[in-house]
Amino acid sequence: MKFTTPASLLWGLLVSTATTYAASTSNETASSSTRHIQLPDNFTPPRVFKNVNLLRNINLEKSYIRETINVVIENIDKKPQSEYYIPFSTEIISKVGGLEVREKDAPKKGRFEVERADNVLSPVQYFIARLPEPLAPSSQLTLGISYYILGALDPLPVTIDQDDRQYLTHSFSAYVPSAYVTDNQKTKLKLPNTDIPDFTKTTGLKSDSSPDPEKQGSSLVYGPYKTSSIAPGTIELINIRYELTKPVLICSLLERDIEVSHWGGNLATEDRYWLRNGGAQLKNHFSRVSWAMKSYQNLPTSALRELKVPLKPGSVDPYFTDEIGNVSTSRFRPGPKATLELKPRYPVFGGWKYSFTIGWNNALSSFLRVDGVDTYLLKVPFLEGPKMTEGIQYEKVDLRVVLPEGARNVKYELVDDGRSGMPYEVSSEISLHKTFMDTLGRTVLKLSMENVADEARDGELIVSYEYSSLETLRKPLTFAAGLLSVFIAAWFIGSLDVSIKSR
């Protein structure tokens, strides 16, 4: 008696669909990354440009350095030029993130193409900014160059008592590092407050006898300097020491998962943080009594006390866990400005670490739309998580978008919408991830990047993919085939005659 016909029919349909999908995705499972240009030994950028006027702004209000350079460049060559070199020392370039170059007078035209150029034997490395159109001889253009430098601030003293103030130090050159001659330049520093006990005072750099730097509240102004006779690359070291009574938050790794479910109409987000405080370390043992008194008076501290995570409207089911389990010291405020307020199990002082996981759900309809036949566009925040006034710096970010099983032809785009801070270098990989009741596995887009600051939270990730309506039948057919196989196996076993008969 033949009783396997229904199961064979269902399984044959599943195998047919699975074979088609496997063939279509076999060429998609690959990885890509931005390439670095290798420069020849003893390379020197051609002196085809001149910096007519340069203004550098250094913002030290957060726990990392944010620099913006507005410079008027002029083509002094006889031919049109389109490559502008931006130098960094070998020690600093590995800490640079979010570098972008725009036309200062037309920022909405978008970012210029930027590539990193390496020279192992040279103490100076370069980024190459490619102008959209070559600049004609004797023509001028105003560039806006912005970037942040992570992990470049050092506490001094390195260790402090629990109630002491925290001071950080920063060193830079009064002359802005450039591959080209600069006629006029000036540097402005914006600090967290007016407590600046130590800073370098220069003599003979300015053309007049006014003090250098000029202190204006919580700001310092070095210059202006006339430097047309100063060779490019000349260093005039400046040291500054200032107070920052906030934690220096560094996330060594952020694993961010965004899972799309067409069946459930749900978008599930989970962020896993490996966080540490890079500020001044405790000199003596931690006093819980002193901490309780300081917390009761709500006094400023260099320890991490709490985290506030703004969420999208409609976010539900938030959770906060760490290595021990669920953390109950949290509060969720739903509404148009949903916020998840987190309190770690203990205050995180300088040198201390804290790893935790947060997650929540959203309605998929708020982030997904149909774009043609069987084509979908997913638009999600590139970075969420805690939003702190002192900022958070991420050494490495792994972002995974888990798409439905059967999704193919996956493409992505990072959109900054005119904002700054997005990573300039991203590696991508498309693979498969098997979960419960999957036949082949779900399509996963993984993006990896380094040196990311929380300013990138304003950016968005757009993912397009194809998902056939027939693929929606994969899961119920798999479940039905499995259930039918169980019933048939049970019927077959029950129909066996296992009684003991006499011969």
Residue 439 has pLDDT above 80, yes or no: no
| Same domain assignment for residues 231 and 254 | no
29 found inside a domain: no
| Same domain assignment for residues 233 and 256 | no
| Same domain assignment for residues 52 and 177 | yes
Query: Can you give the pLDDT at residue 452?
Result: 93
61 found inside a domain: yes
| Same domain assignment for residues 383 and 312 | yes
Query: Can you give the pLDDT at residue 310?
Result: 93
* Count: domains in the chain: 3
Burial class (CB in 10 A: 0-12, 13-18, 19+), 202: middle
Query: Can you give the pLDDT at residue 106?
Result: 84
Q: Which residue has better confidence, 455 or 446?
A: 446
| Same domain assignment for residues 430 and 342 | yes
Is residue 503 very low, low, confident or very high in pLDDT (cuts 50, 70, 90)? low
| Same domain assignment for residues 322 and 189 | no
Q: Final residue of a domain: which of 241, 258, 290? A: 241
Q: Which residue has better confidence, 317 or 18?
A: 317
From the CB of residue 61, how many other CB atoms can be counted at a distance below 10 Å? 15
pLDDT tens by residue, 195-242: 999 999 998 888 788 889 999 999 999 989 999 999 998 999 999 999
Residue 390 has pLDDT above 80, yes or no: yes
Is residue 423 very low, low, confident or very high in pLDDT (cuts 50, 70, 90)? confident
| Same domain assignment for residues 148 and 226 | yes
Query: Can you give the pLDDT at residue 468?
Result: 80
Looking at the chain, the whole-number percentage of residues with pLDDT higher than 70 is: 89
Give the mean model confidence (pLDDT) for residues 112-135.
Answer: 90
Residue 70 has pLDDT above 50, yes or no: yes
In the chain, what is the straight-line distance between the N-terminal and C-terminal CA atoms, in Å?
A: 27
| Same domain assignment for residues 86 and 202 | yes
Query: Helix/strand/coil (H, E, C) string of 137-179?
Result: CCCEEEEEEEEEECCCCEECCCEECCCCCCEEEEEEECCCCCC
Q: Final residue of a domain: which of 214, 241, 268? A: 241
Looking at the chain, the whole-number percentage of residues with pLDDT higher than 90 is: 58
| CATH code for the domain in which residue 49 is found | 2.60.40.1730
| Same domain assignment for residues 209 and 93 | yes
| Same domain assignment for residues 462 and 483 | no
Q: How far apart are CA 264 and CA 363, in angstroms?
A: 9
| Same domain assignment for residues 317 and 434 | yes
219 found inside a domain: yes
Residue 43 has pLDDT above 70, yes or no: yes
159 found inside a domain: yes
pLDDT tens by residue, 125-164: 999 999 999 999 999 999 999 999 999 999 999 999 988 9
pLDDT tens by residue, 249-289: 999 999 999 999 988 899 999 999 999 999 999 988 888 88
| Same domain assignment for residues 338 and 401 | yes
Residue 396 has pLDDT above 70, yes or no: yes
Most confident of 14-23, 166-175, 453-462: 166-175
Query: Can you give the pLDDT at residue 502?
Result: 66
Query: Can you give the pLDDT at residue 34?
Result: 47
Q: Which residue has better confidence, 39 or 473?
A: 39
Q: How far apart are CA 101 and CA 73, in angstroms?
A: 13
Query: Can you give the pLDDT at residue 38?
Result: 83
Residue 22 has pLDDT above 60, yes or no: no
360 found inside a domain: yes
pLDDT tens by residue, 295-354: 888 788 899 999 999 999 999 999 999 888 888 888 899 888 899 999 999 999 999 999
Sign of the CA dihedral with 262 first, then 263, 264, and 269 last: negative
Domain housing 131:
45-241
Residue 27 has pLDDT above 80, yes or no: no
From the CB of residue 296, how many other CB atoms can be counted at a distance below 10 Å? 8
Query: Can you give the pLDDT at residue 25?
Result: 36
500 found inside a domain: no
Report pTM: 0.84
399 found inside a domain: yes
503 found inside a domain: no
**Is residue 478 within 8 Å of 4, Cβ to Cβ?**
no
